[in-house]
Amino acid sequence: MDFDVIVIGGGPAGLCFARALGVAEGAASAPLRVAVVETQTESALAEPAFDGREIALTHFSARVLRELGLWERFAEGAVSPLRDARVLNGLSLRGMNIEHRHGNKEELGYLVSNHRIRRAAYEAVRASEHVTLITGVRVEDLRTDGDGGYVTLADGRTLGARLIVAADSRFSAARRAMGIPARMHDFGKTMMVCQVEHELAHDHVAWEWFDYGQTLALLPMNGERASVVLTLPQHEMQPLVAMTPEAFSEAITARFNRRLGAMRLTSTRHCYPLVTVYADRFVGQRFALMGDAAVGMHPVTAHGFNFGLKGADTLRRGIQKAHATGADFASNAVLRSYESAHRRATLPLFLATHTVAKLYTTESLPGRVLREAFLGLGERITPFKRLVAATLTGA
């Protein structure tokens, strides 16, 4: 075999998993030889372009990123504390407030730009002796048997490993090649993300505002700056993206009802289709799904990459435990144990997020009444708020 593990996809989940396989391994066992195959060029991985996403990270994710040596690579000021969160509905100023004290921590979580995470992950992998990066070429095909897995690259090469891990996005071709079905839901909407400066202080409070006819999110960055996420049908988004920066600044200020005063666009605008995915199975013979390829979350609960890190941590622990005792680290038992742990960790929030996203985009009169009623109830039930805070802080 050319490698012990081949990872398809050098996105944040694939790179962090590859890095994790070497970091915490005991000295007793020989290090696993890992390859990451990525379509993008090496320079695109080394200097990832700004993609608009500010990633809200839980305390668990921050700990994993510290262990992997990514956190120390973030420039000073690149990490913004996310102190509290506010959920708003329609025109009401009352909402549900999740405060850091509910999670017994100074902050609920942290915000870091996705391109910074990707750069840090690349640098950490580059510093890992056990990982080989194969860039600028896509995996065209794969198959597995009882001994291992084999990937065919677009340049004609075939590589073999004892385990294949696919982290090739929520539209994973590897998942399909392995015959694994996935429940996909297209919300028929587009999300636009960009950065703004604004007049009034945000006090490091994140907003999720289920307004009528639009959904707005505000992620507080250091200074009077924020990342804005606007969700609309594509035909309504198109004109906003085409506006001049000045016209867009006025439009977004109005959409936020001037609640943070005047807003000014300070970055490029980036659009993403609102599609969620949950794979029916996370594993196959000598094969595992990782990151968005396994669970592609709705961004409203900001958990996609957090779940990616969780899965990477769970699978690498199973692999390293087996490897340390000389057992087969890609056995059905190891893979099934990853599958059940990751399903338990992700399915409840995936389903809850889906339900919330559906309800809070319902515009009928009974729907609007329900929206207000549930939010009011949530605000009054402190144990519920503690539970939400605990998913972020791990308290």
Residues at the contact surface with ligand FAD, assessed by CB under 6 A = 8-14, 37-40, 53, 55-56, 114, 138-139, 167-169, 173, 191, 193, 229, 272, 291-292, 299, 302-306, 308
Give the distance between the most distant pair of CA atoms in the chain: 64
Q: How far is the CB of 376 from ligand FAD (least distance, A)?
A: 26
Rounded-to-integer distance, Cα 118 and Cα 121, Å: 5
User: Helix H segments across the chain?
Assistant: 12-23, 42-46, 59-67, 114-126, 173-177, 234-242, 245-255, 304-324, 332-359, 365-380, 382-393
Single-letter amino acid code for the residue at 388: V
Q: How far is the CB of 310 from ligand FAD (least distance, A)?
A: 10
Q: Tell me the residue nearest to ligand FAD as measured from the CB.
A: 11
Nearer to ligand FAD, 41 or 238 (CB): 41
Nearer to ligand FAD, 64 or 330 (CB): 64
Q: How far is the CB of 224 from ligand FAD (least distance, A)?
A: 20
Rounded-to-integer distance, Cα 293 and Cα 290, Å: 6
Nearer to ligand FAD, 215 or 253 (CB): 215
Nearer to ligand FAD, 25 or 168 (CB): 168
Nearer to ligand FAD, 95 or 308 (CB): 308
Q: How far is the CB of 352 from ligand FAD (least distance, A)?
A: 16
Closest to 301 (Cα-Cα) out of 182, 208, 186, 170: 208
Nearer to ligand FAD, 8 or 319 (CB): 8
Rounded-to-integer distance, Cα 139 and Cα 293, Å: 15
Contacts of 201 (CB under 8 A, 6+ apart): 224
Q: How far is the CB of 292 from ligand FAD (least distance, A)?
A: 4
Rounded-to-integer distance, Cα 301 and Cα 380, Å: 20
Torsion region of 349: left, alpha or beta (phi above 0 gives left; psi -120 to 50 gives alpha): alpha
Nearer to ligand FAD, 53 or 162 (CB): 53
Q: How far is the CB of 338 from ligand FAD (least distance, A)?
A: 15
Contacts of 214 (CB under 8 A, 6+ apart): 230, 231, 232, 255
Q: How far is the CB of 122 from ligand FAD (least distance, A)?
A: 11
Burial class for 75, CB neighbours closer than 10 Å (0-12, 13-18, 19+) = exposed
Q: How far is the CB of 273 from ligand FAD (least distance, A)?
A: 9
Nearer to ligand FAD, 133 or 263 (CB): 133
Rounded-to-integer distance, Cα 107 and Cα 58, Å: 10
